[in-house]
Structure 1
Amino acid sequence: MPKHPAIQRHEWFAVLVAATYFFLVLASYYVVRPVRDQLSAAVGSTALPIFYAATFVATIALAPIFGALVARYPRRHFIPVVYLFFIAGMVAFIPLFRAQESIDARWLGTAFFVYGSVFNLFVVSVFWSYMADLFNVEQARRLFPLIALGGAAGAIAGPALTRALVSIVGVAGLLVISAILLGLSIICIVVLARWSRSNPVAGDNKRNERIIGGSFIAGAIETFRSPLMRRLAILMLLGDAVGTVIYALLADYSGAHYKTPEARTQFAASIDLSTNILQALLQLSVTRMLMVRFGAAPALALDGVVKAVMLAGMAVFAGPWIAAVVVVTRASAYGIFKPAFDSLYAQVDAETRYKTKNFIDTAVWRFGDLVVTSGFNGLRAIGTTLGGFASLAMVAAAASGWIGWRAAKMLPEVSPTTADKELTPAPADTRR
């Protein structure tokens, strides 16, 4: 019999509430993400640079504020306040979406695209930070994979709800559903805080006061200074280039084939649902097997191969192939690439990790979105066809696989036993 069971008796309640919390947060996000994506389809890929420029500015402005809040206040205090702020924002958008046909789609799309991205930064990303406040290291290794299942279920339930209900409640009604789900998650936060205070055995008495180290500027300096961090930034940019090109092509396809907001939202929800199911299957099978037995390098290389093969197919089969390309490449990006990519940070010292990861995951990523979409419009203006875009993205995918392999080999090998202990199944990623 193992020394530590998967869940001890006093932990059951907290695990169930935490899994429910994660379910509600990701379901809330995935209900509204198709709403954002149908706006991208309504205006077409030519407007994406405007969307991403506004998002880049908002990210650069808000990331330091977010870091300061995390460093100054216990998360159990500021997370509910932040969630209430975003619920209020969701409610404010409802009358705008009811009048969507009479409002400039570019203006509404820009506003909601920024809102969705900031929602991701402030609402989704703090979940695991809060979990780190509640549980100690030994508990995290046992409990986080189980809690992650709640997020995986939410990432599937959210788009499933959207696809089923959008024709009944409309796009504006989906915002109400998302706001309700997010409001219910606040109850989970309060309940978990009370459990933490009554269960000191779970960890040290100051676990609710922990802060996240590092700063935004320090992260930029360290990223440019470190050869490994520079390579990880390039790897992020290449992966982002592939995803952004595919996103732009999907926006144009959806706008051309689905003429109403409800139809475009239902199509986007179907894409998310298929992607998240495939991603969960990859994480539970291929990704875990590769990372436990061989480490991150083969997983990063495999992701590049999968994307390159799918993009080669799109260059041949054109338009109708785009849905399959989106589902498979996104599932690979977040079911294979992301767990392997994030595992590389676990092998560097804490100071480097704290300083650089936030900068690469925000500024570098958002800057890449802006550059790629602007370049996309420039290439289209000189006559580049779908096959040309697919070929360029295929080259970026292959380069991503090669650089990922090389970056992983720069780090010391981790034993299979250690990898198995540290590998936590990631929920559906919300970045794109």
Structure 2
Amino acid sequence: MSQASARVGAITRFRTALGDSPPLAWAFLYFFCLLSGYYVLRPVREAMAASSDIEAVFPPAMIGFFLDRGVALNEFTLQVIFTLVFVIMLLLQPVYGWLVSRFPRRVFLPVIYLFFIATLLLFYCMFDSGIAGRGLAFILWITVFNLFAVAVFWSFMADIFSNLEARNYYGYIGAAGTIGAFVGPALTKTLVERLGIANMMLVSAALFSVCVLCILKLRKWAVLREAQRQQASGEIPMGGSVWAGLKLIAREPLLRWLALMVVLGVGVGTLLYNEQNAIARSLFTTSEARANYFASIDLAVNSLTLVVQLLVTRGLLSRFGIAPALLIPGAAIILGFSILSASPLPLMIALVQVVTRASEFSLAKPARETIYTRVDRQWRYKAGAAIDTVIYRGGDLTFVWVHKLLSAFGSSVVFGAGLLVASAMTFSAWRLLREAARLPAERKV
């Protein structure tokens, strides 16, 4: 089959899916705007994290505090950032647990996004006025946003679509996000040096406002699915403990293996990201140039992701289930880190980064999320969110310090350790598949 025929076939299948499932169009728009808005800002985050202007990243008082104790913050920028992110996640997890336990879905979903929109307007003012320490505040904010906003998106999708529908449609929904993730850095690449970083906050806020509209439109299909399957309604509070998500993870084997797989996947990404960050700091001297570089990486990742999602993901999930989609990325990452441990060239690092992130977004992530269509809402909104926030950032925190230790011995040692982590991640994916096989096709709440 030619590439043109494959594209025509993919478009035809997508149009058929839109006709069969009216909520798919709104879910498509929702994820497109969510990741467009995020990826408009992601290059700004990377530029701040790699900035050599320490006063743009950290508040003067914080710089002085560490200098008085003989510590130069510019030597520990990423370690300090990842530590603070983890602390914030620990503090916010019970707040999120309280929100989803005490309020119905129609309240807490819009509230989460409206809060992030309001804070973006605040960041516009901070960057426009050049307030010292704006970099740290923004990096912490966008990291929290990415994890919570994406986590609640997929939890909401599991309220709307059945397991069979998820296997048929999550590839398309993921492609919508990838298109958005392609448009976002393209906007930044085109506009940031012309308009400045501050105005990118307003572009992103407008896109997140569309997400709120999509939530309101999709709610009726979530209610309908719950009524058809006689499931507990998401229009009433879930109740339960604010720490219920972490308790579920500790109790349920499937969630434990899922959490371990996520942590090890984060470890692979963190080791790779830190090496790439060090390269960017040495090669580029301005925030705008670094933002341009990271936008180029994002464009490459999202281009490959989109091709896989449109041509491979749906067929793989619908015909063979989640096993290939979970195991293929592990094999690709093992191969990539094997090459890097022998030859850690900058171009090869960028290439492996593209393959690693693209395989996660196009295959592993949709496969993991289909599992949540077969479990109850406590698992989706509480355990799933805990894995994607506190546990995810716990992995980040662990491996950012591991990288600091290993980097003293050179890039080959870093990537050799990454190879071991990637192998363990693939083993945890295999164990997760064994646990998922025990789930019913549709679990009643």
Q: Shared fold by TM > 0.5?
A: yes
Partners of 1:407 and 1:131 in 2: CA distance: 21
* Cα shift at 1:244: 0.6
* Cα shift at 1:349: 6.8
Q: Which amino acid in 1 is paired with 2:332?
A: V
Q: Which amino acid in 1 is paired with 2:193?
A: S
CA contact (8 A) 1:318 1:387 kept: no
Partners of 2:234 and 2:353 in 1: CA distance: 40
* Cα shift at 1:111: 1.4
Name the structure 1 match of 2:349.
Answer: 322
SS at match of 1:209: coil
Name the structure 2 match of 1:363.
Answer: 390
* Cα shift at 1:265: 1.0
Name the structure 2 match of 1:430.
Answer: none
* Cα shift at 1:138: 9.4
* Cα shift at 1:386: 1.0
Q: Which amino acid in 1 is paired with 2:362?
A: G
Q: Comparing 336-345 with 156-165, which one deviates more in the overlay?
A: 336-345
- Cα separation, partners in 2 of 1:15 and 1:263, compared to 1, 3 Å: same
Partners of 1:349 and 1:79 in 2: CA distance: 18
- Cα separation, partners in 2 of 1:213 and 1:366, compared to 1, 3 Å: farther
Partners of 2:323 and 2:17 in 1: CA distance: 29
1:409-428 superposed matches below 5 A: 409-412=434-437
CA contact (8 A) 1:301 1:400 kept: no
CA contact (8 A) 2:268 2:421 kept: yes
Name the structure 1 match of 2:325.
Answer: 299
Name the structure 2 match of 1:173.
Answer: 199
Name the structure 2 match of 1:70.
Answer: 100
* Cα shift at 1:8: 5.5
Name the structure 1 match of 2:417.
Answer: 392
User: Does residue 376 of structure 1 match 2:385?
Assistant: no
CA contact (8 A) 2:151 2:385 kept: no
* Cα shift at 1:35: 0.8
RMSD: 3.6
CA contact (8 A) 1:7 1:143 kept: no
Q: Which amino acid in 2 is paired with 1:96?
A: M
Name the structure 2 match of 1:115.
Answer: 141
CA contact (8 A) 2:100 2:381 kept: no
1:191-232 Cα deviation digits (max 9, x unpaired)? 566xx49x9978749966155576553333333344443333
SS at match of 2:33: helix
SS at match of 2:90: helix
1:94-105 superposed matches below 5 A: 94-98=124-128, 103=132
Q: Comparing 113-122 with 244-253, which one deviates more in the overlay?
A: 113-122
Partners of 2:306 and 2:206 in 1: CA distance: 25
1:350-374 Cα deviation digits (max 9, x unpaired)? 7666653333222221111111111
Partners of 2:333 and 2:303 in 1: CA distance: 18
Name the structure 1 match of 2:32.
Answer: 23
1:269 maps to which of 295, 298, 301: 295
- Cα separation, partners in 2 of 1:48 and 1:379, compared to 1, 3 Å: same
Q: Which amino acid in 1 is paired with 2:394?
A: F
SS at match of 2:31: helix
1:222 maps to which of 240, 248, 255: 248
Partners of 2:146 and 2:425 in 1: CA distance: 25
Partners of 1:330 and 1:147 in 2: CA distance: 17
* Cα shift at 1:99: 5.4
Q: Which amino acid in 1 is paired with 2:322?
A: A
Partners of 1:22 and 1:391 in 2: CA distance: 36
* Cα shift at 1:127: 3.0
User: Does residue 312 of structure 1 match 2:338?
Assistant: yes
TM-score scaled by length of structure 1 = 0.80
Q: Which amino acid in 1 is paired with 2:308?
A: L
Q: Comparing 388-397 with 210-219, which one deviates more in the overlay?
A: 210-219
* Cα shift at 1:188: 4.2
1:378-414 Cα deviation digits (max 9, x unpaired)? 233xx31011111110121122223322331344379
CA contact (8 A) 2:158 2:370 kept: no
1:56-67 superposed matches below 5 A: 56-67=86-97
SS at match of 2:409: coil
Partners of 1:278 and 1:369 in 2: CA distance: 25
SS at match of 2:51: helix
Q: Which amino acid in 2 is paired with 1:412?
A: A
Partners of 1:408 and 1:202 in 2: CA distance: 26
* Cα shift at 1:310: 1.5
User: Does residue 55 of structure 1 match 2:81?
Assistant: no
TM-score scaled by length of structure 2 = 0.77
Name the structure 2 match of 1:125.
Answer: 151
**What is the number of residues matched between the two proteins?**
402
Q: Which amino acid in 2 is paired with 1:235?
A: M
Name the structure 1 match of 2:433.
Answer: 408
* Cα shift at 1:234: 2.3
Q: Which amino acid in 1 is paired with 2:104?
A: P
2:272 maps to which of 214, 231, 246: 246
- Cα separation, partners in 2 of 1:215 and 1:393, compared to 1, 3 Å: farther
Partners of 1:136 and 1:304 in 2: CA distance: 27
1:37 maps to which of 16, 41, 46: 46
- Cα separation, partners in 2 of 1:301 and 1:126, compared to 1, 3 Å: closer
Of all paired residues, the percent bearing the same amino acid is 36
Name the structure 2 match of 1:89.
Answer: 119
Name the structure 1 match of 2:363.
Answer: 336
Name the structure 2 match of 1:236.
Answer: 262
* Cα shift at 1:306: 0.7
- Cα separation, partners in 2 of 1:414 and 1:360, compared to 1, 3 Å: closer
Partners of 1:401 and 1:357 in 2: CA distance: 20
Partners of 1:181 and 1:283 in 2: CA distance: 23
- Cα separation, partners in 2 of 1:358 and 1:403, compared to 1, 3 Å: same
- Cα separation, partners in 2 of 1:138 and 1:40, compared to 1, 3 Å: closer
CA contact (8 A) 2:124 2:198 kept: yes
SS at match of 2:194: helix
2:283 maps to which of 242, 257, 266: 257
